[in-house]
Amino acid sequence: MLRTVSGFIISFVILFLLTSFHPGGEPDQNPRSPKIRTLIIDPGHGGLFPGTRGLISTEKDVTLDISLKLGEAVRKNFPAVKVVFTRTTDACVNNATNLHDDLHGRAQIANQAKGDLFISIHCNATRQPAGGYYEKRVIGHKKKLVYVGRGRKKRKRWVNAPVYESYWVKNTRVGTETYIWKAGKQENKNDAINEREEGGEDVTDSAAGEAFDLTSPEARMRAALYEKKYFDNSALFATLVEQSFSAAGRQSYGVKQRDVGIQVLQATGMPSVLIEVGFLSNKEEEEYLNSDKGQDEVVQNIIDALKRYKDQLEGNTDTIEAAAADSSK
199 in the same domain as 157: no
Question: What would the pLDDT profile of 259-291 be if each residue is shown by its tens digit?
Answer: 777 889 999 999 999 999 999 999 999 999 999
What would the mean pLDDT of 318-323 be, rounded to a whole number? 47
Supply the pLDDT for residue 101: 94
258 in the same domain as 114: yes
Mean residue pLDDT across the chain: 82
121 in the same domain as 49: yes
Residue 25 in any domain: the answer is: no
DSSP string, 162-231: EEEEEEEEE-----EEEE-PPTT-HHHHHHHHHHHHHTSSPPEETTTTEE--TTSHHHHHHHHHHHHHHH
Residue 87 in any domain: the answer is: yes
What is the C-alpha to C-alpha distance for residues 35 and 82, in angstroms, rounded to an integer? 12
69 in Cβ contact with 75 (< 8 Å): no
Buried b (16+ CB within 10 A) or exposed e, 137-175: eeeeeeeeeeeeeeeeeeeeeeeeeeeeeeeeeebebbb
Amino acid at 94: N
Residue 224 in any domain: the answer is: yes
Give 18's contacts (C-beta < 8 A, 6+ positions apart). 222, 225, 226
Residue 305 in any domain: the answer is: yes
91 in the same domain as 73: yes
Amino acid at 108: Q
Q: What is the pTM (predicted TM-score) of this model?
A: 0.77
Q: Is residue 21 pLDDT above 90, yes or no?
A: no
- 3-class secondary structure, 259: coil
Question: What would the pLDDT profile of 202-235 be if each residue is shown by its tens digit?
Answer: 333 333 334 444 455 665 555 566 677 888 999 9
Supply the pLDDT for residue 198: 54
Say if strands 155-170 and 176-179 run parallel, antiparallel, or are unpaired. unpaired
Supply the pLDDT for residue 276: 98
- Find the length of the chain: 329
Residue 259 in any domain: the answer is: yes
The number of helix segments (H) and strand segments (E) in the chain equals 9, 12
Supply the pLDDT for residue 184: 63
Supply the pLDDT for residue 239: 97
Give 158's contacts (C-beta < 8 A, 6+ positions apart). 143, 144, 145, 146
Quote the number of domains for the chain: 2
Q: By CB neighbour count within 10 A (0-12 exposed, 13-18 middle, 19+ buried), where does 75 fall?
A: middle
- Last residue within a domain, chosen from 168, 187, 219: 168
199 in the same domain as 140: no
Residue 23 in any domain: the answer is: no
Domain containing 241: what range? 34-126+173-327
What would the mean pLDDT of 100-122 be, rounded to a whole number? 95
148 in the same domain as 54: no
Q: Which helix (H) or strand (E) holds 48?
A: none
- 3-class secondary structure, 256: strand
What is the C-alpha to C-alpha distance for residues 136 and 60, in angstroms, rounded to an integer? 34
Q: Is residue 242 pLDDT above 50, yes or no?
A: yes
88 in the same domain as 198: yes
Q: Mean pLDDT lowest for which of 4-13, 274-283, 296-305? A: 4-13
Give 289's contacts (C-beta < 8 A, 6+ positions apart). 57, 62, 66, 123, 277, 278, 280, 295, 298
Supply the pLDDT for residue 180: 95
CATH number at 119 reads 3.40.630.40
Q: Mean pLDDT lowest for which of 62-66, 108-112, 124-128, 209-213? A: 209-213
pLDDT-derived band at 146 (thresholds 50, 70, 90) equals: confident
Q: Is residue 123 pLDDT above 90, yes or no?
A: yes
Q: Mean pLDDT lowest for which of 62-66, 80-84, 269-273, 320-324? A: 320-324
Q: Locate the DSSP E strands across the chain.
A: 21-22, 26-27, 38-43, 82-85, 117-124, 132-148, 155-170, 176-179, 204-205, 210-211, 252-256, 272-279
149 in the same domain as 240: no
